[in-house]
Chains A and B, each alone.
Chain A
Amino acid sequence: MNNVRFLLTGDTSLTVEFGNEINESINHDIRAYKIALEKAGIPGIVETVPTYRSLMVHYDPSVIRYGAFREKLEQLLGEMAAIEIPPSPMLEIPVLYGGEMGPDLPFVAEHAGMSEEEVVRIHSSAEYLIYMLGFTPGFTYLGGMSDKIAAPRLKQPRVKIPAGSVGIAGTQTGVYPIDSPGGWQLIGRTPVKMYDPDREVPILPEAGQYIKFFPVTQEEYDAILREVEAGTYSVKTHARKEG
């Protein structure tokens, strides 16, 4: 762990910076450090916030002061090599592509010079790393989309995009967790609620996990939606094979 920097972010948090670019290896280090931190059980930690390049650690100075806290965080860097990192969970997210749910699929296909089916095949075959969440509750910043289906943002953003919409903007893809305005090209929609403030686990995805989309038919979409609304649907999750 060379290049790791400790940045001051006020009197109740510290940011541990692992690099200054967006790549999987930095994200892996952040996840490893977060797991090591949780295992170390340092008293006074309030919460941690992983981002593309850093882990922000919030703490309570009435429990532990800055000097002692920083020393513990530095020590932990040296112990990271010995920490066993479990394989990342992969969330399987059902998507009804095209039609009313994905009004921009024809544009994305035309822009890519391929059929709609080919766009769907490419979009649903990749494994997307969740680098971080931010912007709105439950919004995931995903990496790993193929350049082949990249598409520019809408010239005129939509005023209201329904929660669950799956979109593409440049080489980014993602799911809108709540109804919001936005300029992404919409290619489909998931019946799964990525975010539900009243659920025991309000937000499904977590930084460091992976997402894979799988296409469903209208009938399957409707059936899953009924289960989601009854609170009986659980997203299929399995350990991702490394490499």
Chain B
Amino acid sequence: MSIRVIQPGVQTTVQDLGRFGYQQFGVPVAGAMDPRSMKLANLLLGNDPGEAALEITIMGPQLVFDETNYIALTGGDLGASLDGKPMPRYQAVKVQAGQTLRFLGLRNGCRAYLAFAGGLDIPPVMGSRSTYMKAKIGGFKGRKLEAGDELSFRDPKPDLLFPERRKLGADFVPQKQYDLRVILGPQDDHFTEEGLQTFFREVYTVSAEFDRMGIRLDGAVIEHKNGGDIISDGIAFGAVQVPTAGKPIIMAADRQTTGGYTKIATVISADFRILGQLRGGDKVHFVPVTVEHAQTSMMLEQNYYNMITDFLKRDRGL
């Protein structure tokens, strides 16, 4: 075994970028809530950006390593400490057999991602290693980690080229209020003009109900023309669902594949990094953008990933 779980934390699960191709059969996508942080952790280690990592929520686990490997930690700051010393984030760190990783408490954000060079030895289910807890699929036995669990590295790398280069600036910066860029639709025509104005004018507060399935918001009621019920259709990651009561819910990684409530808009992919770090009390404000803007932002992000990969492969520095 490579990693022993001493304490599991609140909710520590194995996630990759999600289970695609089975939504038509009712299987939710799951996957990382903050895909950018997960990709960066993997890239720092020379992994495929979609390699499965641990998604650690609010209160982290206590893990003991039984095997030497490089690891990287990204996302929210959960107070990680390696053998009693602060564990650097956004950096490849060599851990030796016998070392203990603890999380002392949440400093900012909501979720951290812990990636391992060479990945984890977890069998893919329907093409993905993501845990979907509700149906007990994927990840480690289809559930969150528990004390006593033992995980194995798949192809550990006790040595990595250019370890000193494998470092990025902290990527997640907490803010008083987050702007979430959205594309209007699919059911924007089910809302009154006043309802649409409310949605874009008001500041919403993340309620105590925020999990991998959805993030419920409190704030001004968004007015429908004829209520919030529709004949079921598909739900995208980031869809802002508004049931008849008028309070928005941002649908997240573990959302059901289909649903019967109106969706006023969809958060753009480049801002999923914010969704994954939101927690109760955070403020959000919705800003409309075009699909073209959203896709350009996605491509810029992709260019950044490519740049990191190239830089770590190049045999001389910049």
State whether the Cβ of A178 lies closer than 8 Å to any Cβ in chain B: yes
CB pair A17–B22 under 8 Å, yes or no, is no
Give the dominant DSSP class at A's interface: loop
Complexed CA–CA distance, A123 and B187 (Å): 36
CB pair A135–B24 under 8 Å, yes or no, is no
Complexed CA–CA distance, A61 and B144 (Å): 32
State whether the Cβ of A133 lies closer than 8 Å to any Cβ in chain B: yes
Interface stretch of the complex, out of B56-64, B200-208, B227-235: B227-235
CB pair B186–A51 under 8 Å, yes or no, is no
Which one of A12, A51, A202 lies within 8 Å of B269 (CB-CB)? A12
Given the interface contacts A51-B234, A52-B232, A132-B232, does A10 sit within 8 Å of B135 by beta carbon? Answer: no
Complexed CA–CA distance, A127 and B187 (Å): 33
Interface stretch of the complex, out of A42-50, A185-193, A221-229: A42-50
CB pair B302–A10 under 8 Å, yes or no, is no
CB pair A11–B269 under 8 Å, yes or no, is yes
Which one of A10, A50, A138, A203 lies within 8 Å of B294 (CB-CB)? A10
Query: Digit string of A60-75 for contact with B (CB within 8 Å is 1, else 0)?
Result: 0110011100000000
Chain B residue numbers with a CB within 8 Å of A47 are 20-24
Complexed CA–CA distance, A8 and B264 (Å): 10
CB distance from B139 to the nearest CB of A (A): 12
State whether the Cβ of A20 lies closer than 8 Å to any Cβ in chain B: yes
Which one of A53, A67, A138 lies within 8 Å of B231 (CB-CB)? A53
The chain A residue with its CB closest to the CB of B268 is: A11
Chain B residue numbers with a CB within 8 Å of A11 are 183, 266, 268-269, 291, 294-295, 298
CB pair B295–A9 under 8 Å, yes or no, is no
**From residue 55 to 81 of chain B, which have CB atoms closer than 8 A to chain A?**
none
Given the interface contacts A62-B302, A66-B291, A203-B27, does A15 sit within 8 Å of B125 by beta carbon? Answer: no
What are 28 A-B pairs with beta-carbon distances under 8 A?
A7-B185, A10-B237, A10-B239, A10-B294, A11-B266, A11-B268, A11-B269, A11-B291, A13-B234, A15-B233, A46-B21, A47-B21, A48-B24, A49-B257, A51-B232, A52-B231, A52-B232, A54-B233, A61-B295, A61-B298, A62-B299, A65-B295, A135-B26, A136-B26, A137-B135, A138-B25, A197-B137, A206-B25
Which residues of B does A touch, CB under 8 Å?
Answer: 20-28, 125-126, 134-135, 137, 183-187, 231-234, 236-239, 256-259, 263, 266-269, 291-292, 294-295, 298-299, 302
Given contacts A11-B266, A15-B234, 13 further A-B contacts (CB under 8 A): A9-B234, A9-B236, A9-B263, A12-B269, A22-B231, A53-B231, A65-B295, A66-B292, A134-B258, A137-B25, A137-B135, A203-B25, A206-B24
Closest 3 CB pairs of A and B: A56-B234, A10-B266, A8-B185
